Amino acid sequence: MKKPIFTGAGVAIVTPFGADGKINYPLFAKLIDFQISGGTDAVIVCGTTGESPALNHAEHSELIRFCVEHVSGRVPVIAGTGSNDTAFCLKLSNEAEKSGANGLLMVTPYYNKTSQQGLIDHFTYLADRVSTPIILYNVPSRTGLNILPATYKALSAHPLINAAKEANGDVSALAQTAALCGDDLVLYSGNDDQIVPFMSLGAVGVISVLSNICPKLAHDIAAACLAGDFAEGARLQLEHLDLCNDLFADVNPIPVKEALKLMGWDAGPCRLPLTGINAAAREKLVRALKNHGLI
């Protein structure tokens, strides 16, 4: 049985930018502390929500190093190191390992994409050349590529392919993956609105956007499920479904950065090609934040 890097709710943390367009490290440190004090079970840095595609190589590596150093062992740190360039993915991964990351989050190749056999070859090549557990990241809406259950089964045989963050929204496919892989692959929900159904099928937690603004809530939903109290997990999730949905009323992480700003954390704008939140999405977001007493 593979040991999870973490259980519960890990935050897919935003990358704050200052007025000069550079990474705002003092605010990043405060956001990390806010997360940990709120019960976050892990910090996932340089993921989609962290705008990793808009970070240059030096920024990417330094942000991971800073995050590991500031977290200082309080919770696990998982570093987003995925790329559509296998060689560059390996370079980022080896740098993250040197910084002390507890896990490596690797998204499927995007744009150039590949076949299912290509996925097996890509991830196996990487797993053979790192010493840190890997979380596969499946998000077809971003990459145009979906990992099939049989491919997960093949990959789960590798001792360093530890887990999957499944964000394809397909509960039936997750059930197939869980049935095929059993204890050989740890599963995480990649969508905040599916924490409870995924955990009812064996997932051990979530990599969460919601946690950026509600770390205790995300933690409590996952903790209830881990304790076998799916009724309580469902109650919390359904009570906050509007918030989960409205954090995706525009392209992630546009809404969550706007939410943080409304709550007093000015994480700055997103980098182009992402832009400011559209008016309709902002209206929905403000309403949800007010409904739950966050502003």
Q: Say if 243 falls within a structural domain.
A: no
Are 276 and 269 in contact by the 8 Å Cβ rule? The answer is: yes
- How far, CA to CA in Å, does 172 sit from each of 168, 178, 191, 201, 204? 11, 10, 15, 10, 17
CB atoms closer than 10 angstroms to residue 272: 7
Q: Say if 98 falls within a structural domain.
A: yes
Q: What is the pLDDT of residues 220-262, one digit of tens each?
A: 999 999 999 999 999 999 999 999 999 999 999 999 999 999 9
Q: Say if 247 falls within a structural domain.
A: no
**What is the model's pLDDT at position 262?**
97
216 flagged as catalytic = no
User: Which CATH number goes with the domain that contains 69?
Assistant: 3.20.20.70
**What is the model's pLDDT at position 86?**
98
Region 57-66: mean pLDDT is: 98
Q: Which helix (H) or strand (E) holds 86?
A: helix 86-99
Q: Domain of residue 189: give its range.
A: 8-226
290 flagged as catalytic = no
Q: What is the pLDDT of residues 5-52, one digit of tens each?
A: 999 999 999 999 999 999 999 999 999 999 999 999 999 999 999 999
Give the 3-state secondary structure of residue 177. Answer: helix
In the chain, % of residues over pLDDT 70? 100
**What is the model's pLDDT at position 182?**
96
**What is the model's pLDDT at position 72?**
98
Task: Tell me the C-alpha distance between 44 and 59, whole Å.
Answer: 16
Q: Say if 244 falls within a structural domain.
A: no
Q: Say if 2 falls within a structural domain.
A: no
Q: What is the pLDDT of residues 64-83, one digit of tens each?
A: 999 999 999 999 999 999 99
Which amino acid, one-letter code, is at 253?
P
Q: Say if 265 falls within a structural domain.
A: no
Task: Tell me the C-alpha distance between 218 and 33, whole Å.
Answer: 16
Q: Which helix (H) or strand (E) holds 195?
A: helix 195-200
Which candidate in 2, 111, 125, 137 is catalytic? 137
Q: What is the pLDDT of residues 122-137, one digit of tens each?
A: 999 999 999 999 999 9
Q: Is the pLDDT of residue 140 over 90?
A: yes
Which candidate in 30, 91, 152, 165 is catalytic? 165
Q: Say if 279 falls within a structural domain.
A: no
* Tally of domains in the chain: 1
- How far, CA to CA in Å, does 90 sit from each of 4, 140, 173, 233? 22, 22, 28, 38
Region 107-116: mean pLDDT is: 97
Which backbone phi and psi does 197 adopt, to 5 degrees?
-60, -35
**What is the model's pLDDT at position 1?**
78
Q: What is the pLDDT of residues 145-196, one digit of tens each?
A: 999 999 999 999 999 999 999 999 999 999 999 999 999 999 999 999 999 9
Whole-number mean pLDDT of the chain? 97
Q: Is the pLDDT of residue 273 over 90?
A: yes
Q: Say if 277 falls within a structural domain.
A: no
